[in-house]
């Protein structure tokens, strides 16, 4: 009996967590996947971590913006195609809907910092 309850609870929590991609993120991902084929699988693995720790845990996660409704987080993503060197992923976590929106992905060797304008634009669209 308790085993059925555990399975039901797990399904509900999986349905609550949703992952969406901004069109800009999709373009970044498409371009990077050509160079780093493991990237899609690496993102799926990241999603598993985020379901348990939505705003991350440890030194690999940095909160860039925080309000009661939404948190913008930058994280390192170990990419197997890069021999576990890090990509950077910027995402938004919406507390009320338990939803995630991937905003930006980039390789630290190609680009030094996140696109602050893209983050500001996302927050502006979200608030409207």
Please tell me the predicted confidence (pLDDT) of residue 110: 83
Residue 108 lies in a domain: yes
Specify the CATH number for the domain of residue 47: 3.30.2310.20
Residue 34 lies in a domain: yes
Residue 8 lies in a domain: no
- Token output for 49: 């971590």
Number of domains in the chain: 1
Contacts of 25 (CB under 8 A, 6+ apart): 102, 103, 104, 105
Asked whether the beta carbons of 18 and 97 are under 8 A apart, the reply is: yes
| Closest CA relative to residue 42, chosen from 51, 33, 34 | 33
Tens-digit pLDDT profile for residues 18-70? 899 999 999 999 999 999 999 999 999 999 999 999 999 889 999 999 999 99
- Token output for 83: 């021999």
Domain of 90, in residue numbers: 16-127
Percentage of the chain beyond pLDDT 90 is 65
Please tell me the predicted confidence (pLDDT) of residue 16: 40
Answer yes or no: pTM beyond 0.75.
yes
- How far apart are alpha carbons 90 and 108 in whole angstroms? 12
Residue 2 lies in a domain: no
81/17: higher pLDDT: 81
Contacts of 97 (CB under 8 A, 6+ apart): 18
């Amino acid at each position: 009996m308790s085993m059925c309850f555990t399975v039901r609870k797990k399904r509900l929590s999986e349905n609550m967590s949703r992952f969406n991609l901004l069109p800009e993120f999709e373009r970044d991902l498409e371009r990077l996947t050509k160079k780093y084929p493991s990237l899609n699988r690496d993102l799926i693995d990241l999603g598993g971590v985020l379901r348990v720790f939505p705003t991350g845990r440890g030194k690999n996660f940095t909160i860039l913006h925080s309000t009661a409704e939404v948190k913008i987080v930058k994280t390192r993503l170990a990419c197997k195609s890069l021999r576990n060197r890090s990509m950077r992923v910027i995402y938004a976590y919406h507390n009320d809907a338990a939803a995630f929106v991937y905003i930006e992905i980039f390789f630290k060797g190609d680009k030094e910092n996140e696109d602050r304008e893209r983050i500001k634009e996302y927050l502006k669209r979200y608030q409207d």
